[in-house]
Amino acid sequence: MLQARVKIASPVGLHARPASLFVKAAAKHAGSVSIGRPGGEPVDARSMLSVLSLAIGHGEEVILRTDGEGAEAALRELSRLLTSDLDA
């Protein structure tokens, strides 16, 4: 399992449109993908409701985890998404 600590760049946090873009990108990967706060319980990054339930705001740090086939590429792509302004 690979993981990265990522700071959310979207001004509105990981809500509505940014969360939708992130969840769609996570769903494209064959392996497992999860997201959560440091020290918190991770959730399935492919579930819109689970991601929204975290209520992650702008500037917060999250732990992104990937496992399985293509885990490294998935971690790079999803980390890049979270560190960009997905609401633009």
Comparing CA positions, the residue from 48, 17, 44, 50 lying closest to residue 31 is 44
The active-site residue, picked from 6, 15, 51, 78, is 15
Q: What share of the chain is helix, strand, coil (3-state, %, to 5)?
A: 35, 25, 45
**The total number of residues written for the chain in this structure:** 88
Residue 58 designated active-site: no
CA 10 to chain centre: 12
- Residue 79 and residue 6 in contact, taking contact as beta carbons nearer than 8 Å: yes
Provide the annotated active-site residues: 15
